Amino acid sequence: MNRTNRRLILLSLTVCVWTAAITIASQKQQFLARAPATLTIETEPKSVRILIDGERLEQGAYINTPTEINMRPGRHKLTVQRDGYLPQDRTVDLVSGETENLDDIVLVRRQGLDLATAEVTSGEGAVTCEVDDGIGRGPTPLTVANLVVGQAHIITCYPKWPSREGAARCKFTAQSGDEDAATVKLKLWNKQGKLKISGCDRKASQ
């Protein structure tokens, strides 16, 4: 093999190596571009509604923070809301494959609004209940603070949580002048395995 042919072969091998390297780098860049970014959110109060670019997360139900959300990279508008508090807006620039932490979101209580506490008890055994789409959720006895006074609130209780079958549901209104005014007591009908909630204003539609 003469020197010219050796040079041509070496040149071809060099071109192949560089082409492969460029292809791998390009594929890596494309993969990273498609990889989601992570946004972690921590708020006070802990239970809030979250909107991303105007779209409600969890269909508008309350979300307990801290929480972690996988999102597409780029700029996004974040809105944090809770009844009785001023909403807060943030703009975040998310980088593919990286995590952005928002741990300083503190909602300010609206002036002129009174807040109350609901205490939920069960006659026999613990029953899982939630208030206002998850602003408070857990087994009884359950205390849910910072509910807006004079506003109708919905409580839903589940006899066999996490199953949502056979739930009892009704509305109650916290009264002003007493932070413990909104008290809802639960009673379980043992024979039929159904729940009946006392202390409510009226039944809520399913």
Cα 186 from Cα 166, distance rounded (Å): 14
Cα 200 from Cα 149, distance rounded (Å): 14
Q: What is the pLDDT of residue 170?
A: 87
Q: What is the pLDDT of residue 73?
A: 92
Cβ–Cβ < 8 Å for 199, 184: yes
Q: What is the pLDDT of residue 16?
A: 59
Provide the pLDDT confidence category of residue 179 given band limits of 50, 70 and 90.
very low
- The whole-chain average pLDDT of the chain stands at 81
Q: Which residue has the tokens 């998310």?
A: 94
Q: Average pLDDT for residues 195-204, to the nearest whole number?
A: 73
Q: What is the pLDDT of residue 126?
A: 84
Provide the pLDDT confidence category of residue 180 given band limits of 50, 70 and 90.
very low
Cα 12 from Cα 17, distance rounded (Å): 9
Q: Dihedral through CA 49, CA 50, CA 55, CA 61, nearest 10?
A: -30
Express each pLDDT in 117-160 by its tens digit. Answer: 888 888 777 889 999 999 999 998 888 888 888 888 999 988 88
Average the pLDDT over each of 14-18, 79-83, 111-115, 157-161 and give the range with the smallest value. 14-18
Q: Which residue has the tokens 């509910």?
A: 147
Q: Average pLDDT for residues 23-30, to the nearest whole number?
A: 56
Report residue 7: phi and psi, to 5°: -65, -40
- Quick check: 46 pLDDT over 80? yes
- Quick check: 10 pLDDT over 80? no
Q: What is the pLDDT of residue 125?
A: 78
Cβ–Cβ < 8 Å for 113, 148: yes
Cβ–Cβ < 8 Å for 99, 66: no
Confidence (pTM)? 0.73
DSSP characters for 99-111?
Answer: EEEEEEEEPPBPT
Q: What is the pLDDT of residue 81?
A: 96
Q: Which residue has the tokens 């042919």?
A: 5
Cβ–Cβ < 8 Å for 158, 129: yes
Residue 121's Cβ-side half-sphere holds a number of Cα atoms within 13 Å equal to 6
